[in-house]
Amino acid sequence: MKKNPYSGKFIVFEGLDGSGQSTQAKLLQDFLIKKDYKVLLTKEYTKNSEAGRKIRKIVNTTSSPKGKNFHAKLQELFAEDRKAHLKNKISPALKKGKIVISDRYFFTSFAYGKAEGVSLKWLIGINNKFLVPDLSFILKVRPEICISRIKKRDKKRTFFEERRHFAKASKIFQVLPKKFKNVYIINGEKPIKKVFSQIEDLLHSKLNL
């Protein structure tokens, strides 16, 4: 995997659906803009790439997929979408010195793919040419709390949001900081402002922002 060679900083939020990563990503964007930084807030999977459109169709129309082959093919699409995301949006912004905040990146692929039986080594391999974030936050929230939050959205749940899937993915998220540098677990069950306070402390100590 490649270290970020650009002047901008690359920050990523990860966690189970319902863990609050989108909320915290937006709070960080607002916080940095107030400090006069140029910021790009983005999200995976994307809506613009061909792979992203295929992912959306699969996620929205498939109920309970089974088998490693299905999930391996799906993760290949996520990697293809990520490649386009980096080329067309993330890297150009980093080159301009912007702080890029991504709501999800390859750590989500590692956790959710591995939870469905796909080899973690293989998952890392298909993402090994991508930039490593300068700082990654994994919001730790118990699966049952995430499920409860998702139910309140009153939207159709996807197969990624099944309790069984969440329980497995949650365990994998917790071991990722041992395998990768600059990845930090954040207690996402605290009130929103207190969660962000943890993030702000790490921003100061690790990136001097």
User: What does 49-117 look like in DSSP terms, one character per residue?
Assistant: SHHHHHHHHHHHH-SS--SHHHHHHHHHHHHHHHHHHIIIIIHHHHHTTPEEEEE--HHHHHHHHHHTT
> 39, 8 in Cβ contact below 8 A?
no
> 109, 127 in Cβ contact below 8 A?
yes
Q: Which two tokens stand for residue 164?
A: 């069984």
Is cis: bond before 6, omega within 30 of 0?
no
Amino acid at 195: V
Say what the pLDDT of residue 63 is: 66
Confidence of residue 161 (pLDDT cuts 50, 70, 90): low
> 102, 13 in Cβ contact below 8 A?
yes
Q: What CATH number corresponds to the domain at position 161? A: 3.40.50.300
Residues 137-155: what's their mean pLDDT? Answer: 89
Alpha-carbon span 209 to 57, nearest angstrom:
39
Give the sign of the dihedral formed by CA 166, CA 167, CA 171, CA 174: positive
The parent domain of residue 100 ranges over: 2-207
Q: With a cut of 70, say whether residue 162 has pLDDT above it.
A: no
Say what the pLDDT of residue 152 is: 85
Report the domain count for the chain.
1
Say what the pLDDT of residue 163 is: 63
Say what the pLDDT of residue 65 is: 62
Average pLDDT, the chain: 92
Q: With a cut of 90, say whether residue 64 has pLDDT above it.
A: no
pLDDT tens digits, 126-138: 999 999 999 999 9
Alpha-carbon span 25 to 13, nearest angstrom:
7
Specify the higher pLDDT residue, 122 or 150: 122
pLDDT tens digits, 168-207: 999 999 999 999 999 999 999 999 999 999 999 999 999 9
Tell which phi-psi region holds residue 104, choosing left (phi > 0), alpha (psi between -120 and 50) or beta: left
